[in-house]
Amino acid sequence: MIGKPSYSSDRTLPLVVLLGAILIWTLVSLLRVFPESVFPSPMAVLHGFIEELRSGRLLDDIVASLFRVTTGFGLAVFTGIPVGLWLGNHARARTAFLPLINFFRSLSPLAWIPFAILWFGIGDLPTVFLIFMASFFPLVLATVAAVANIPSVYFRVARDYGFSNTEMLTNVTLPAIAPQVITALRVTAGLAWLVVVAAEMIAGRAGLGFAIWDARNGLRMDLLVSGMIVIGVIGIILDRILLKLTKIPSVRWGYER
Amino acid sequence: MNDKPLLLDNVSFCFGSIDVFQHLSLAIERGEFVAVVGPSGCGKTTLLNLFSQFLKPSAGRVVCSERLRMVYQTDSLFPWQTASENIALGLRHVKKQTERDRQLGEMLRLIRLESFAGHYPHQLSGGMRQRVELARALIGDSDVLLLDEPFSSLDYLTRIRMRNELARMLMQLPRTVVLVTHDIEEAAQLADRIIVLSDRPARICAEFEVDLPRPRELTHPSVVTTVHKILTELGLEHEGKRVMVSPTAEGIAQNCS
């Protein structure tokens, strides 16, 4: 019989799977199925991780990548949501702009890499640009859809109770779209984190993406894997932080209905 | 100054080429509870929208109170606000916080939802949500209540309970009420006067008065007789002969014209 997993099993099961994966990894490397140069052992990766941590390079790379993601993603949020709100409220503008926005949304942000380097050189700027390009269009589209889905009766009620135009925006539109926008933020933040790694590999001189590219060039597979693990873990942490937004009482309705 | 809080004087209204009303006149007395029944799409909701000045008549004159509140067919509570925050919308004009708190407390007691004040709409049952909707419309200094099929989404038993609840609330907070409904039992159990509309262009094809204090029992002879009279008017029952039919006004257009 299939029962509902208990709270403790919810916590221990993923841990068991993780330990199992590390065990298999250890066994494969102990049995020398692949040469050490292309399949580093967990111990080698741990040592590489400690080495990077001690030298301060790891922290620098994390800071560089997080700075770029925060800047590019922040810019996308502060421009994409207002643009989405405006388009959501103006049918003609929506008809005019949506095909173009859809086009850019479908275009992989990595296709912009050559132009990013041409226009902004190497460093923070091209990466920030690429992250912006990756997050802006999906955020606009999600906001437009959320605005279009607000039941019109909410605006009737707001009008009945004498809301001003500003209040319509702050007390009706924004809270009504909040759950959908938060979901979009989680998706686009994940996208931004994917893009930063790829962008730094080509257009960076620091950052986690650059670090694993550098490790590959130096044939340091232990550092490469250590970098990969750090990237994955930070990705999960970022999503966890944004997940906290969905716990705000006034947006729960969007997830519980 | 006209002492009729609601008045349609020779009003015509059309949606494009569709004539909804032609020269319709209807006066509603202060404190009166009027129910409007009629076939689907005959313009019952339009009638309320004219009273609330959401729609302007094509011809004729509409007089209505400024302190008018409407309860909608669809869930119109703001899902991002708690029950008490939703009700407090009706107190926006009250400047003093202490006075607002006092009235809110009284209202929560009246609708017996004190312990649910901090709950969000999605955490309440359908009946509770409807009580909050009524409370939001009744609180403050409104004097006219427009109800657009407020109980249509509830199950049969909850609907009967809500009728008693509404009657009880109106004893405490008397209002002029216009109830649009397709539920003929509801009309007979609640209203002082029942207006039967014909199919488009709608005209008043019958009026019935029920001289019985509220709350009324559904099986009270006067209520049963009124239901029978309305159904007879709509051609669904026949004088002196009872036919088993569902007491709704759907598909009765031809009989009424």
What are the structural domains, with CATH classification, of chain A? 1-33 (no CATH), 35-256 (1.10.3720.10)
Check whether the bond before B221 is cis (ω within 30° of 0): no
Per-residue pLDDT of B40-69, as tens digits, reads: 888 899 999 999 989 999 999 999 877 899
Q: Do B120 and A154 touch (CB under 8 A)?
A: no
Task: Name every chain B residue with its beta carbon within 8 A of the beta carbon of A167.
Answer: none
Per-residue pLDDT of A96-110, as tens digits, reads: 999 999 999 999 998
- CA distance linking residue A221 with residue B127, whole number of Å: 64
Candidate from A151, A172, A176 with C-beta closest to B74: A151
Q: Which residue of A has its CA nearest to B81?
A: A250
- Residues forming beta bridges with residue B145, ordered by sequence position: B69, B177
Q: Do B122 and A172 touch (CB under 8 A)?
A: no
Which 3-state string (H, E, C) describes B53-81?
A: CCCCCCEEEEEECCCEEEECCCCCCCCCC
Say if residues A210 and A75 touch (Cβ distance below 8 Å): no
Is 3.40.50.150 the CATH classification of the domain at B29-55+143-257?
no
Pair of tokens at residue B174: 């008397």
Q: For A197-222, give the DSSP string.
A: HHHHHHH-SSSHHHHHHHHHHTT-HH
- Residues forming beta bridges with residue B69, ordered by sequence position: B145
Q: Do A253 and B79 touch (CB under 8 A)?
A: yes
Mutate to test the interface with A, among B80, B122, B138, B146 (most CBs of A within 10 A): B80
Candidate from A153, A156, A251 with C-beta closest to B80: A251
Task: Name every chain B residue with its beta carbon within 8 A of the beta carbon of A168.
Answer: none
Measured between CB atoms, does B67 come within 8 Å of chain A? no
Say if residues B247 and B228 touch (Cβ distance below 8 Å): no
Task: Name every chain A residue with its beta carbon within 8 A of the beta carbon of B90.
Answer: 161
Task: Name every chain A residue with its beta carbon within 8 A of the beta carbon of B79.
Answer: 253-254, 257
Mutate to test the interface with A, among B78, B93, B145 (most CBs of A within 10 A): B78
Q: How many CB atoms lie within 10 A of CB A240?
A: 10
Q: Which residue of A has its CA nearest to B118?
A: A249
Where do the domains of chain B lie? 29-55+143-257, 78-141
Q: Do B89 and A161 touch (CB under 8 A)?
A: yes
- CA distance linking residue B68 with residue B82, whole number of Å: 23
pTM for this prediction: 0.84
Q: For B157-206, give the DSSP string.
A: HHHHHHHHHHHHHHHHS--EEEEE-SBHHHHHHH-SEEEEE-SSSB-EEE
Min Cα distance B152 → chain A (Å) is 16
Q: Do B80 and A151 touch (CB under 8 A)?
A: no
Q: Tell me the pLDDT of chain A (257 aa) as tens digits.
A: 455 556 677 888 999 999 999 999 999 998 988 888 889 999 999 999 999 999 999 999 999 999 999 999 999 999 999 999 999 999 999 999 999 999 999 999 989 999 999 999 888 999 999 999 999 999 999 999 999 999 999 999 999 999 999 999 999 999 999 999 999 999 999 999 999 999 998 887 889 999 999 988 888 999 999 999 999 999 999 999 999 999 999 999 999 87
